[in-house]
Structures are given as structure tokens and as C-alpha cells.
Amino acid sequence: MTRIVKVVEEANYTLIQLDDGKANALGFTMLEQIGEALDTAEKSGKAVIIAGRPGKFSAGFDLSVMAGGGDDMMKLLRGGADLSQRLLNFQTPVILAVSGHALAMGALLLLSADYRIGTRGDFKIGLNEVAIGMSLPWFGIELARARIAGIHLNNAVSLAHIYDANAAVAVGYLDEAVDAAELLPRAIAIAQELGKLDMHAHQQTKARLREGLNAALDTAFEKETADSPFAAQQ
């Protein structure tokens, strides 16, 4: 199997690099390899950096699967929901080095991490499902409610507004924006700083903070199966 997700173990952090040579679409292979990379990172017990390829963090789900509907679509959707919840509850801090465009499921990953650093420039960040004829999945609705600033929620979700990195900070997709050359060094600095936390206390406190969100996510996929909002658009 071609490796499109690479893991680099450093002294103070684990770097997970996503690079399929294209848009970093989240298909079955990408999700599987991210899961394997997180397994490795979990064993190390260090802060995690997840980085995209230059210009593209992730364009979201593989649309060839989503357009096909049926069991494969629901399986991929479930895989994305599981990944979001795993990131939300990861035992160590998760930092995203958002190297460019982050759309749809790519933007939902931003709402699932502990700290998000974006790249200034002509890059698009946002939930564009409504613009491309899809309903935002229930787990995405719950993530947006929890992590997007209330004043921006309707525009970001119902109106599919797209933001650059600077604007995405105010909305809640990102915590800060830097120039491209500063992205990885800044992510490393944050990982090293957060690595000084007591990880047991970090994990327990994060679980308490996100207890309500986790409860909502636990039931979200039941609604997904009942409503099949994506399937309704096919």
C-alpha cells in the first residue's frame, strides 16, 4: 500500500504528515493510515502535530465515494466521525499545521483538534457542504455548535461561508495564522510547550470539558442513519 501518511518521531512530539500528492481527500486509505499513525503517536505519549501538504491541508471526504451513496458513503462518513471524536479525546495535545485549503471534512478536523495554526494567503477554510449540494452531517453540526463562535455559526454552517486564515481565527476554525515559512516551526514550538503539561491531568480535564460534546457525538450517527442527509441529495 502506498504510504500517504507518514509518521516522524521526534524527542518532544510526533509529526503526522498527510500527503497524497493531490488534495489530501479523506478516503478509506487516508483514514486507515491516519488511524495507524495515531496508534503510533498514542504509544509515544507525546504531543501530536498533524500537517498537510504545501497549499492543501484537506479538501474533505473523497467525493467519488460520497457521490456513490449507499453503504460505502455511510462507512466513510462514520470513519470521519470516528476520527473527529478520536482527536477530540486524544490523550495528548493535538496541534494542526493547516498548510492551506481546509474544506468540508477537512474543516471539521480543525474543529476536532486542541490547537490549530493556519497559513496566511489565498487559502479557503470552511464548511462548503451546502454550496455543493450536501447537508452537513449531524456530527459536523455538533462540532460546529461547540467550536464555532456563535455570532458566526449561521454564516459558517447554513450559508457555507468560506474564510481565509486570518478571518478563520475569529470564527473559531483556527487559533492563529502565520506565514507559510513559519507554520511548522510555530507548530513545533506549540507542541514543545504543550508537551510540558501533565498529560494525565490534560486528558482528564479535556474529557470533562468535552463531556457534553461527546454525548452529542455519540448519538449523532444514529440521527445520520435515520435521516441519511447525504443520501437524500443523491
- Rounded Cα–Cα distance for residues 42 and 81 (Å): 19
**Which is nearest to 19 in space by CA: 9, 10, 29, 11?**
29
Is residue 118 scored above 70 in pLDDT? yes
Q: Residue 204 above 70 pLDDT? A: yes
Domain 5-194 sits in which CATH superfamily?
2-enoyl-CoA Hydratase; Chain A, domain 1 (3.90.226.10)
Quick one: pLDDT at residue 233?
41
pLDDT of 148-161, one tens digit each? 999 999 999 999 99
HSE toward the beta carbon, residue 151, CA cutoff 13 A: 3
Q: Is 200 exposed, middle or buried (0-12, 13-18, 19+ CB in 10 A)?
A: exposed
Query: Would strands 13-18 and 5-9 be described as parallel, antiparallel, or unpaired?
Result: antiparallel
117 φ, ψ to 5°?
A: -115, 120
CA dihedral of 63, 68, 72, 76, whole degrees rounded to 10: 20
pLDDT band at 224 (very low <50, low <70, confident <90, very high): confident
Q: Among 143, 148, 117, 110, which residue's Cα sits nearest to residue 212?
A: 143
Contact at 8 Å (CB) between 5 and 37? yes
Number of neighbours of residue 64 by Cβ within 10 angstroms? 10
User: Do the bridges between strand 115-119 and strand 94-98 make them parallel or antiparallel, or are there none, so unpaired?
Assistant: parallel
Output the pTM of the full model.
Answer: 0.95
Q: Judge contact between 94 and 210, C-beta under 8 A.
A: no
| Predicted confidence (pLDDT) per residue in 62-109, tens digit | 999 998 889 999 999 999 999 999 999 999 999 999 999 999 999 999
Q: Which of 206, 173, 176, 200 is nearest to 190 (CA)?
A: 176
Residue 39 makes CB contacts below 8 A (sequence gap 6+) with none
Sequence-separated (6 or more) residues with CB below 8 Å from residue 137: 77, 80, 81, 220, 224, 229, 230
